[in-house]
């Protein structure tokens, strides 16, 4: 299972390799590529862009998801099945087609400049089904009696939301944001079509891989992302095993 971490660790290891070619043989430890990465404005902008877009997508997709989740789960309405099916469409349609069709609409027909903004539009579209489904799932298991109890005790609509509804759906909101964040951060297909001169990390690496120049900067960048992922993983590990380590000192 941990095989998944293999490519990430390998990338990290090789980013220190003092060699122009990618891979073995090992020619000595060097921080050269990392220096190049941190001083490369294009690469750094790509990182910033990716994160900014991902955060925006996470927030917007979750808000929209909330907007659909409540009515769909709690109050039926005409056309709810149509809405539900349309929500699933972005998953069934290859991102390729979504990217192309949005490109056609936004660039060709509306004449908009491609940018991070257009990219966000595409990402939000793809993330929306996942956000909505997560939130709906969370709402279905929700016991409305709790809300009614609060209102019987005199809470207004807003207070009920704040103290009862929100804490219960909060995990769902986190999952939805996390999911949308990942979807946006790691997408390369839609970015291929919708990002103009603004670059995102996947696009940057993709471009470098296809062109064979400055490959090592891409390596450092990739390793950087890998490091972030590994750091998050370690964080989880520490949180889980940490308490266990603390116990001996208590005795």
Partner 1 sequence: MKLELKDDTTRRERELNIFRKMKKLVYYLRLFPAVFWLLVFLVLPLSVMFIYSFWTMVRFELIPTWTLKNYLDIFVKAEGLYIKLLFKSIGMATAVTLGAIALAYPAAYYISTRGGKYKYVLLNLIMTPYLVSWVITIFGWRMVIGYTGLVNTVLMSVGLISEPMRLWGNWMTVIFVLIVSWTGWLVLPIFVSLEKIDRTLLEAGEDLGASPLENFRKITLPLSMPGLLIATFFVLIPTFGEFVAPLLAGGTSGAMIGTAIEATFKRMHNWPFGSAMAFLLVAIALITSLVLIRKAGLRTLMESL
- For partner 1, which stretch binds (CB under 8 A), given 36-44, 128-136, 145-153, 158-166? 128-136
Report residue 77: phi and psi, to 5°. Answer: -155, 165
Residue 40 DSSP code: -
Beta-bridge partner residues of 140: none
**Candidate residues 42, 91, 146, 149; the one interacting with partner 1 per rule CB under 8 A:** 91
Instruction: State yes or no: residue 3 binds partner 1 (CB under 8 A).
Output: yes
- For partner 1, which stretch binds (CB under 8 A), given 18-26, 30-38, 142-150, 161-169? 18-26
Q: How far is the CB of 219 from partner 1 (least distance, A)?
A: 8
Query: Closest Cα partner for 34 from 25, 44, 26?
Result: 44
Cis amide prior to 64 (ω within 30 degrees): no
**Candidate residues 31, 71, 148, 166; the one interacting with partner 1 per rule CB under 8 A:** 71
Residues 6+ apart with CB under 8 A from 115: 195, 196, 197, 198
Distance from C-alpha of 65 to C-alpha of 99, rounded to nearest angstrom = 21
Task: Confirm if 120 and 161 have CB atoms less than 8 A apart.
Answer: no
Q: How far is the CB of 241 from partner 1 (least distance, A)?
A: 8
- For partner 1, which stretch binds (CB under 8 A), given 36-44, 146-154, 162-170, 234-242? 234-242
Instruction: State yes or no: residue 149 binds partner 1 (CB under 8 A).
Output: no
**Candidate residues 31, 42, 93, 146; the one interacting with partner 1 per rule CB under 8 A:** 93
**Candidate residues 190, 201, 216, 220; the one interacting with partner 1 per rule CB under 8 A:** 201
Find the binding residues for partner 1 in span 41-70 (CB under 8 A). 63-68, 70
DSSP-assigned letters across all residues of 84-119: HHHHHHHHHS-HHHHHHHHHIIIIIIS-PPPSHHHH
Task: Confirm if 125 and 87 have CB atoms less than 8 A apart.
Answer: no
Q: How far is the CB of 130 from partner 1 (least distance, A)?
A: 6
Instruction: State yes or no: residue 237 binds partner 1 (CB under 8 A).
Output: yes
Instruction: State yes or no: residue 228 binds partner 1 (CB under 8 A).
Output: yes
- For partner 1, which stretch binds (CB under 8 A), given 37-45, 143-151, 159-167, 204-212? 204-212
Q: How far is the CB of 163 from partner 1 (least distance, A)?
A: 20
Q: How far is CA 230 from CA 5, 12, 119, 215, 223, in A?
A: 8, 10, 27, 22, 10
Q: How far is the CB of 154 from partner 1 (least distance, A)?
A: 21
Instruction: State yes or no: residue 198 binds partner 1 (CB under 8 A).
Output: no
């Amino acid at each position: 299972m941990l095989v998944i971490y293999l490519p990430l660790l390998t990338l990290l290891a090789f980013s220190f390799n003092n060699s122009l070619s990618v891979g073995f043989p090992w020619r000595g430890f060097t921080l050269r590529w990392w220096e190049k990465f941190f001083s490369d404005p294009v690469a750094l902008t790509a990182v910033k862009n990716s994160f900014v877009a991902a955060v925006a997508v996470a927030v917007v997709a979750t808000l929209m998801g909330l907007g659909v989740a409540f009515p769909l789960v709690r109050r039926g309405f005409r056309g709810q099945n149509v809405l539900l099916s349309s929500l699933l469409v972005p998953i069934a349609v290859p991102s390729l087609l979504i990217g192309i069709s949005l490109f056609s609409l936004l660039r060709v027909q509306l004449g908009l400049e491609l940018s991070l903004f257009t990219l966000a539009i595409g990402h939000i579209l793809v993330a929306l089904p996942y956000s909505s489904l997560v939130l709906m799932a969370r709402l279905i298991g929700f016991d409305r009696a709790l809300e009614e109890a609060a209102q019987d005790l005199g809470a207004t609509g807003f207070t009920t939301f704040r103290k009862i509804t929100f804490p219960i759906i909060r995990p769902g909101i986190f999952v939805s944001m996390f999911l949308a964040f990942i979807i946006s951060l790691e997408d390369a297909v839609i970015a291929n079509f919708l990002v103009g001169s603004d670059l995102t990390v996947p696009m940057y690496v993709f471009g470098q891989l296809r062109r064979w120049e400055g490959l090592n900067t891409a390596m450092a960048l990739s390793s950087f992302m890998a490091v972030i992922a590994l750091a998050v993983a370690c964080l989880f590990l520490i949180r889980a095993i940490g308490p266990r380590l603390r116990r001996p000192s208590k005795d």
